[in-house]
Structure 1
Amino acid sequence: MTCHRILFALACLWSGLGSAQSATLRVDLQHGGDARSEHYAIERVVVEPLPWPGNPARPIDDSNRGTHRFEVIDPGTGKLIYSRGYSTIFGEWRGTDEAARTERSFQESLRFPMPEATVTVRISARDAANAFAPVWETTVDPKALDVERVAAPAPAAPIAIHRSGPSPQKVDLLLLGDGYAADELEKFEADARRLVAYLFTVSPFKERAGDFNVWALTVPVPVSGVSRPSTDTHRASTLGVRYDIFGSERYALTLDNRAWRELAQHAPYDVVQILFNSETYGGGGIFGIFSTVAADSDWANYLFVHEFGHNFAGLADEYYTSPVAYAAAPATRVEPWEPNVTALLDPAQLKWRERMTPAAPLPTPWPKTDFEAFQRENQARRAKLRADRRPESEMSALFTAEQAHVEGLFEGQPQAAAIGAFEGANYEATGYYRPQMQCLMFTRSEAFCHVCRDAVEDIIDLYSRDARP
C-alpha cells in the first residue's frame, strides 16, 4: 500500500472517531517477580497516534472482572477518572513450576484517555478472598519531557471489516495478523472476514453486531507460519505468537507486548484478537489484553469465539478434563470472580440466581460419571496421537468424534435446558459449578449458555452504551 493510501485511510479513521475525543495515553510496564512476590516498573509512557476510541459515557468499569484492576485518579481531589479490570500473563506464569524457583518479568500496558494534568495510576490485585487490594501506584505526568509523542509511520492501513458507526459508541475489535507472508496478505483479509462473519452468527454477538466495529491489520513476515518449539519449528514473527506457552503445546500467545502494541496503535481498538497463520489447533485468551486463534484450524470458528470469550468478557473455562481434574479437591473454595463459575450452592447467593430454572435441584444432576469415564479414555487417545506425532487431521477427527459423543450423551437429559449449578468447571471436577449442562466454554459446542451470553452483553454495554441508571 502506498504512503498516500495509508495517510488517507488513517485520516478516515480520525474523522470517524469524533473531534471531541482526547488523545490516547499508554503506560508500558514491566510486571515481574516469582511465586511469592511481584513488582512493577514503568518502562515508558507513550502518546498513541490515534485519538481515544473508548466510550466517554462509561469511563469507570463496574464489571468486577479480572485478576487486576487499574485506576486513574486525580491526586488533588481523589476523584476516580478511569478504571478497567484485566488479567495478566505474569499471573498465569506465577502458577507454573518455573515461578517457584526463579524470577521473571512480562510486559504489560495500561491505556486510558489523555488526562489534563498529573494523575495517580493505581493497580490492585485480587487478595486471598478474591477482593481487589492495592499493590502498586505511581504518578504519570502527561506533560513530562520523557513522554514519547511521535510514533513510527504506520506500516500498513487498517482494513474495515465491519463498520457500524463512530468508535466512541461502538466496541472496536481489532484483528491483528501474525505469520502471514507477503503473498498471503489477501489470505489474512479473507481469514478475518470469515471469522468475523461466524462471530456474528453466535448469540449475543449476532443480535449486537450493530454495536461493533471490526478492523484488521497485519504486516508480512519473511516465512509463512509461527513458531512451535515442541516440533522444532521456528519462525521469525512480527508479533511473537508461538505455541507451547508455559509448556502447554496448544497454548499460543505472544510475550512481546511492545511488538503488538506498536502495530495496534495504528487502528482504533478496545479489544484485540490475533489471527495467526497455522492449521494446528491452538489459541489462548487473557481478559482485557488479547486472544489468539489458529486461523486455519478445522476448529477455528470455535476457537475464535471461545478465546474471545476469555479476552472480551472474562469468561472462565468450564471444562475440567485435564489430568489434575480428577485429583481430590480442597475442602474449601474461594468464590471465583468469573461470571460463569461458582463455588456457592446457596440459591440466595448464586451469581445467576435471577436466571435459575424454577425448582432446579442444586447441585443439578447431569451424566457426570459417564462423561468423565469417556473423557479419561479420550484423553488417553489424545496423548497417544501427540506422542506419535500423528497428522493434525487425526487430532481434528478425534475432536469431532468427541463432540458428537458428548452431544449424544446430553441429548434428552431431564436437565439439558435447565439453568442451575452443574458440578465440574474451572479445571476441577468437584467444588466448582457451571450454569448449564452445555456451553461453548465447556465443550466445542456452537452456543454460549444463557449466563455467558448475559456476561458478554454486560461488556458490550460497557463499551457502547450510556451509564447504567
Structure 2
Amino acid sequence: MRFLFILVAFIGSLGAFSQSFADYFENKTLRLDYTFEGDHIHQTAALEAMKMIPEWNGRKVNPEQVLLQGNGQIQMYDAATNRLIYVESYSTLFQEWTTLEVAKKTQKKFENVFLVPFPKQKVNIKIVFFDKANTAHVLLNHTVDPKDTNIQKEPKKNEIETIIIHKSSHPNPIKIAVVAEGYSKKEMKTFKRKANAFVRQLFKHSAFKKYQERFQVIAVMPVSIDSGITTPRKQEWKNTALQASFDTFDMDRYLTIQHVREMHNVLEGIPYHHIVVLANSEVYGGGGIYNSYAVMSAQIKKFARVTVHEFGHSFAGLADEYFYPSDHLQQTTKNNFEPWEQNITSLANFETKWKRFLKKDTPIPTTYTEKNRPLGVYEGLKGNGIYIPGQVCRMKTNGAKDFCTVCSHAIEQLILFYTEE
C-alpha cells in the first residue's frame, strides 16, 4: 500500500528492514509514566513508574515507523543491536505551555503516560522533543529490562462498568475508549446516550465511515462523586473521576486533563489505545492532544460534531484551521520548514502537502474571494505564515458536515497505517 507522508524516525535509517511484531514484543503493554519539567528554553523528562498490562491494544503493523512526525517521539531500540523496533509520535500539554509568556519566568511539571508494546529483551528508550525550529532534542535516554522487578506486573481488576458500543470485525482494530467525566451514578444513562451520539456522528464522516469496521469503541463509566466539571475562574471545584478542568493556561474554554496518570489508572484492564472524554458540562469547551486524548463538553448543542473535531486533533494530528489574534497558542511557523500537521503548510515544501489535489489553475496562495474554489491555499491569519486547504472543513468550523479532502485523506492514510500490513 502507498502512504503519502511516511516519516521514518529522525535517528537512524531503516533501509529495507521490516520486522514482525512478534520478533521483539509480547502481546502485552508496557505503561511508562513520565514527568516533563522545564521552561521555554530548558526541558527535561524523568521516568516515574513502569507497569505491565496483560494485553497490547495498539498497532501491530509498521511498529518501526511513524506516519506523522509529531511534536515529539518515544523511540524504542533493541539494546543488543541498536535497531529501532518501535516508535510513536505524540504531542503534550507541556510543550504548549513552554510557548507561553509565563514559561519565560517559571518552570512547571506535567504528567505524561505512554503505552508501548512490552519488549521480549532489553531495550533502550529515547524521549525526543522537536523545538520551534524543528530541531530534535533527546530529553531522556534510559534502558528497560523486561525482567526488572521495578516493573509492576500484577494486573488490576477493573470493576468500572463498560459497554462496547461499536464492534469490529478486524483482527487488529483501532481501540477507542469513550470515558465519562463528571457524571454521577444517576446520570450515567445520559452519558450512554452521549457516547452513542458521538460514535454515530464520527462514522458520518467519510474517512471514518469507509473504515468503520476497523474501529472498536467501548464506553467506560467511572462514577464521579460530584456532578459537573471544575472551573477555577468561578471557584467551582469538583471531585470527579478524571479531574478535568476548564481555564487551562487561563483560557476559559480550554478544557483539559492534567492528571493523566489517574486517567490511565481508571482505564487499566480495559482494551483501549485512544481516549475520548465526554465531560458533563453545559459550558462550551474542549481540547485534543495528539496521541494523548480528546475531551469535550457533552451537554452543549452539536457536542458530537465538536468532539469529532477534537478527535481530529488527538487521533489524526490535524491542526486547527481557524485562527484568532487573541489566541494564547496562536500557531506561527518559520518559512524554512513545513509543519508536520498535514492540513497546514508554510509553503516551504508544499509538494509534500496537498498540491497534488489542486486544480492546475489554482493560485498559490489562494484568496478568500474565490468562493467557488473548494480547495486551495488560503492564508490562515494575516502574517502568521500558515496556509490551510479550504474554506469549509470540520477542523475549521462546527457547521461543516465533513472534513475537507485534505483532512479526510490524512485520516484515511492513518487508519490504513494502523491496520494494514
- Aligned ranges 1:245-394 → 2 under 5 Å: 245-323=248-326, 332=335, 334-344=337-347, 349=351, 351-367=353-369
| Amino acid aligned to 1:232 | Q
Aligned-pair identity in percent equals 31
Q: Which residue of 2 aligns with 1:24?
A: 29
In 2, distance between residues paired with 1:232 and 1:175? 28
- Choose from 160, 171, 174 the match for 2:174: 171
- Choose from 375, 385, 407 the match for 1:431: 385
Corresponding residue SS for 1:458: helix
Corresponding residue SS for 1:85: strand
Cα offset for 1:112? 1.2
| Amino acid aligned to 1:28 | D
Range with greater deviation from structure 2 (183-192 or 429-438):
429-438
8 Å CA contact 1:119, 1:141 repeated in 2: yes
Q: TM-score, normalised by structure 2?
A: 0.88
Per-residue CA deviations over 1:199-256 (Å, capped at 9, x if unaligned) read 1111211111111100111211122111111222221011011111110010101100
Cα offset for 1:334? 4.2
Cα offset for 1:155? 2.8
8 Å CA contact 1:250, 1:283 repeated in 2: yes
Per-residue CA deviations over 1:395-435 (Å, capped at 9, x if unaligned) read xxxxxxxxxxxxxxxxx8232x2x2211115xx65421001
Structure ID, larger Rg: 1
- Choose from 414, 417, 420 the match for 1:462: 417
| Amino acid aligned to 1:149 | K
Q: Which residue of 2 aligns with 1:446?
A: 401
8 Å CA contact 2:296, 2:306 repeated in 1: yes
Corresponding residue SS for 2:209: coil
Range with greater deviation from structure 2 (333-342 or 130-139):
130-139
In 1, distance between residues paired with 2:189 and 2:65? 37
Range with greater deviation from structure 2 (337-346 or 139-148):
337-346
Q: Which residue of 2 aligns with 1:392?
A: none
In 2, distance between residues paired with 1:131 and 1:456? 26
| Amino acid aligned to 1:42 | L
1:141 aligns with 2:141: no
8 Å CA contact 2:201, 2:305 repeated in 1: no
| Amino acid aligned to 1:39 | T
8 Å CA contact 2:161, 2:222 repeated in 1: no
Q: TM-score, normalised by structure 1?
A: 0.80
Cα offset for 1:443? 1.8
8 Å CA contact 1:281, 1:298 repeated in 2: no
Q: Quote the RMSD (CA, aligned, Å).
A: 2.2
In 1, distance between residues paired with 2:131 and 2:183? 41
In 1, distance between residues paired with 2:282 and 2:29? 36
- Aligned ranges 1:188-267 → 2 under 5 Å: 188-267=191-270
1:75 aligns with 2:79: yes
- Choose from 390, 396, 414 the match for 2:372: 414
In 2, distance between residues paired with 1:146 and 1:208? 40
Q: Which residue of 1 aligns with 2:20?
A: none
| Amino acid aligned to 1:155 | E
| Amino acid aligned to 1:440 | R
Per-residue CA deviations over 1:321-361 (Å, capped at 9, x if unaligned) read 23369x9x8885642111110111776x3511221222101
Q: CA separation of 1:203/1:278 partners in 2, compared to 1, >3 Å: closer, same or farther?
A: same
Q: Which residue of 1 aligns with 2:160?
A: 156
In 2, distance between residues paired with 1:324 and 1:230? 18
8 Å CA contact 2:333, 2:339 repeated in 1: no
8 Å CA contact 2:334, 2:346 repeated in 1: no
Q: CA separation of 1:350/1:144 partners in 2, compared to 1, >3 Å: closer, same or farther?
A: closer
Corresponding residue SS for 1:452: helix
8 Å CA contact 1:61, 1:85 repeated in 2: no
| Amino acid aligned to 1:38 | Q
Corresponding residue SS for 2:409: helix
Corresponding residue SS for 2:225: coil
Corresponding residue SS for 1:187: helix
The gaps in structure 1 that reach 5 residues or longer are: 1-19, 368-411
> Where is the helix percentage greater, Structure 1 or Structure 2?
1
Per-residue CA deviations over 1:362-421 (Å, capped at 9, x if unaligned) read 111214xxxxxxxxxxxxxxxxxxxxxxxxxxxxxxxxxxxxxxxxxxxx8232x2x221
Q: CA separation of 1:365/1:229 partners in 2, compared to 1, >3 Å: closer, same or farther?
A: same
8 Å CA contact 1:281, 1:299 repeated in 2: no
Corresponding residue SS for 1:46: strand
Per-residue CA deviations over 1:133-168 (Å, capped at 9, x if unaligned) read 4332111112111111124431314210100135x5
8 Å CA contact 1:61, 1:462 repeated in 2: no
> Size of the alignment, in residue pairs?
395
